[in-house]
Amino acid sequence: MIHASLAQLRRALDSRQISSVELATLFLDRIDALNPQLNAFISVDRAGALSAARAADERIAAGTAEALTGIPLAHKDLFCTEGVLTTCGSKMLANFVSPYDAHVVSLLKAAGAVSLGKTNMDEFAMGSSNESSYYGAVSNPWKTTHVSGGSSGGSAAAVAARLVPIATGTDTGGSVRQPAAFCGITGIKPTYGLVSRYGMIAYASSLDQGGAFGASAEDCALLLSAMTGFDPRDSTSLERAREDYAAALVAPDTGTKPLAGLRIGLPREFFAEGMADDVRAAVEAALEQYRALGATTVEVSLPNARLAIPAYYVIAPAECSSNMSRFDGARYGHRAAEYSDLADMYSRSRAEGLGAEVKRRILVGTYVLSHGYYDAYYLQAQRLRRLIAQDFQAALTQCDVIAGPTTPTTAWALGEMADDPVQMYLSDIYTIAVNLAGLPGLSQPCGFGADGLPVGLQLVGDYFSEARLLNTAHQLQHVTDWHTRRPATA
Amino acid sequence: MSLSNEQVGHLARLARIALSDAEIDATRVKLDGIFALIEQMQAVDTTGVEPMSHAQELPTRLREDTVIETDQREAFQRIAPQTESGLYLVPKVIE
């Protein structure tokens, strides 16, 4: 059961081979046994999970089960959960119990999914290694001396080590795709606006987007289908009919060319210098598989992609500095024990409650938004954002899907980049531009590097092409077994 | 571009983050590195390019002017550091 796909779990639950309570207990016991070495969870909610599982068993008995009814999952700890701690990886929210559920949490509860707890993350989702968490770094299940990636590192590590079959995450600059790549699982960030941000603690609002982690594209499709949908409480939620991404997957048929006609664009800039040899070898092998499946590959260009990181590190900190002003020690969260006046209360509460990386991004944002610098920084970054988005549109006239590495290297050692924020920023070179454009992106496992750590292949498509991305990954997963490999810890 | 300690101190005051002198020093070094990265933007001529503030450039949605929220003061204030008679308590601002 531990390694079963969601479809297999569904059959087991519906045929009463296992109950939802038994399934939840199985995974909760694994969390108890394996989480001490991985640190993937910040909170485990055994009582809440078992109560939700009992309700799911009643639904199954009544014949009203949906695709996720009775399926265990975990939420990244920035989705507000009523009655369960939501820390966002920060000391600032160490005592924060949300009075309401995030929209995504409500949707998954209504679908009958069973939340086992909340996963570790970089503080306020600001980081690429999960090392900025106040609750400690997450270990990579494939090599516990290495990082899980970030910021949704806890969710990715938990799914990779099979502490839970599926998990939610968020992606502002690569925070679903990069940890999915580092942990050898599949992760998808949909088109900006498909997943409601209501109750999702904000980092950079014009870029933040909820996403899904699973062992396979099929599992991600099932989870994502349940997470999307219009929500009037999020002003940027898109008024579109919900899609059933799992139903859109084409049943693979060995011996045919299931991807005949699919044009895969390879951005020249993503295959240039900077990509490690072992990553390149795995990515090239996956592309060869795609050609065998009938797809054709064509070189495309994203000439402004190299500017995505500098533009992102203006736009994201600017939005972050505004969003983070809500943490003032007045209404919720940490308040300093001693202060002289109101301004001092704010300054000390924030100094004590926030970590170094969060403070740096707030200060950068404060600077680029200040009088006299706004045009040179913020508007220039937004102009580059348009050029980057236009590059993708031009490339997508020549191809249906853009493919390349998710990350330039496999996971690095814990502590290796802890003192060099810029070096860590540069590791998001292939993912960040996708957020600036607001396009959907997916990472799927495509092999292992020289050190035995997983390599991810990124697929990017036009707006609302989630079904195509998931099916493209699904077809590769039918002819390869990277997605079924499990780390020794699992 | 490189920042002075005074500039970093000013930014920290604007952002309401208390920083010690040692922290200002360490922060300045890191910020200089970040701004060196950001400066790469200036090499591109973006004359005539319309700034893009959002991925989905949609008009702001309007809704009926009706009450959709209920009073949840008690639930919200249960998690506040300090309250009294339904009010959030902070240090006195006006003497």
CA distances from A287 to A131, A305, A324, B61, B91 (A): 33, 21, 42, 42, 62
Instruction: Nearest chain A residue to B39 by CA: give it.
Output: A310
Q: Residue B7's closest CA among B30, B28, B26?
A: B28
Instruction: Nearest chain A residue to B62 by CA: give it.
Output: A235
Task: Judge whether B18 is closer than 8 Å to chain A, CB to CB.
Answer: yes
Instruction: Nearest chain B residue to A323 by CA: give it.
Output: B15
Average pLDDT for residues A268-279, to the nearest whole number?
94
Q: How many independent structural domains does chain A possess?
A: 1
Distance CA A208, CA A189 (A): 10
Average pLDDT, chain B: 93
pLDDT at A266: 98
pLDDT at B56: 83
Q: Where are the domains of chain B?
A: 5-43
Interface test with A, best of B16, B66, B89 (most A CBs within 10 A): B16
Q: Find residue A460's DSSP bridge partners.
A: A402, A441
**Strand, coil or helix: A69:** coil
Q: Tell me if B50 and A330 make a contact (CB, 8 A cut-off).
A: no
Reading the block at residue A271, the tokens are 């295959």
Instruction: Nearest chain A residue to B30 by CA: give it.
Output: A421
Contact present, A239 and B56 (Cβ < 8 Å):
no
Exposure string over B34-70, b if 16+ CB within 10 A, otherwise e:
bbebbeebeebebeebeebeebeeeeeeeeeeeeeee
Instruction: Nearest chain A residue to B54 by CA: give it.
Output: A206
Distance CA B28, CA B34 (A): 10
Q: What's the longest Cα–Cα distance across chain B?
A: 57
Cα torsion angle, B77, B83, B87, B92, sign: negative
Q: Residue A175's closest CA among A431, A354, A408, A421?
A: A431
Q: Tell me if A422 and B31 make a contact (CB, 8 A cut-off).
A: no
Q: Which B residues in the span 34-63 are in contact with A, Cβ-Cβ below 8 Å? A: 34-42, 44, 46, 49-56, 58, 60-61, 63
Distance from the Cα of A310 to chain B's closest Cα (Å) equals 4
- Residue A484 CA, distance from chain mean position: 20
Residues 6+ apart with CB under 8 A from A314: A364, A368, A377, A378, A380, A381, B38, B41
Distance from the Cα of B86 to chain A's closest Cα (Å) equals 12
Instruction: Say which CATH class B5-43 falls into.
Output: mainly alpha
Q: pLDDT tier at B58 (50, 70, 90 boundaries)?
A: confident
Distance from the Cα of A257 to chain B's closest Cα (Å) equals 35
Q: What share of chain B is helix, strand, coil (3-state, %, to 5)?
A: 40, 5, 55
Task: Read off the CATH number of the domain in which A228 is found.
Answer: 3.90.1300.10
pLDDT at A308: 97
At residue A71, what is the residue type? Answer: I
Has residue A193 got a pLDDT over 70?
A: yes
At residue A244, what is the residue type? Answer: D
- Residue B21 phi, psi (nearest 5): -60, -40
Average pLDDT for residues B46-69, to the nearest whole number?
89
Average pLDDT for residues B2-26, to the nearest whole number?
96
**Closest by Cβ to A206, choosing from B11, B40, B55:** B55
CA distances from A119 to A59, A112, A159, A218, A380 (A): 27, 19, 10, 22, 36
Interface test with A, best of B3, B24, B35, B38 (most A CBs within 10 A): B38
DSSP A482: G
Cα torsion angle, A147, A151, A157, A163, sign: positive
Distance CA A363, CA B12 (A): 7
Interface test with B, best of A80, A383, A391 (most B CBs within 10 A): A383
A381, part of any domain: no
- Strand locations in A45-113 (E): 72-76
pLDDT at A224: 98
Has residue A255 got a pLDDT over 80?
A: no
CB < 8 Å to A391, chain B: none
Q: Which residues of A are catalytic?
A: 76, 151, 175
Burial grade of A252 (CB within 10 A; 0-12, 13-18, 19 or more):
middle
Residues 6+ apart with CB under 8 A from A141: A38, A148, A157, A160, A161, A183, A487, A489, A490
Q: pLDDT tier at A489 (50, 70, 90 boundaries)?
A: confident
Number of A/B CB contacts below 8 angstroms equals 164
Reading the block at residue A116, the tokens are 């086992």
Q: pLDDT tier at B60 (50, 70, 90 boundaries)?
A: confident
Has residue A74 got a pLDDT over 70?
A: yes
Has residue B1 got a pLDDT over 80?
A: no
Average pLDDT for residues A448-462, to the nearest whole number?
97
Q: pLDDT tier at A254 (50, 70, 90 boundaries)?
A: low
What would the DSSP string read from start to end of A235-293? TT--------TTTTSPPP-TTS-TTTTPEEEEEGGGGSTTS-HHHHHHHHHHHHHHHHT
Task: Judge whether B8 is closer than 8 Å to chain A, CB to CB.
Answer: yes
What would the DSSP string read from start to end of A287-355? HHHHHHTT-EEEEE--TTGGGHHHHHHHHHHHHHHHHGGG-SSSSSS---S--SSHHHHHHHHHHHHS-
Has residue B95 got a pLDDT over 90?
A: no
Q: Find residue A189's DSSP bridge partners.
A: A441
A292, part of any domain: no
pLDDT digits 0-9 by tens, A320-365:
999 999 999 999 999 999 999 999 999 999 999 999 999 999 999 9
- Residue A482 phi, psi (nearest 5): -55, -35
Distance CA A20, CA A50 (A): 8
Domain hosting A82: range is 6-256+441-484
Has residue A286 got a pLDDT over 80?
A: yes
- CB count in 10 Å sphere of residue A433: 31
**Strand, coil or helix: A129:** coil
For chain A, what percent of residues have pLDDT higher than 70?
100
CB < 8 Å to B19, chain A: 351, 359
Q: Tell me if A206 and B53 make a contact (CB, 8 A cut-off).
A: yes
Q: Find residue A403's DSSP bridge partners.
A: A459
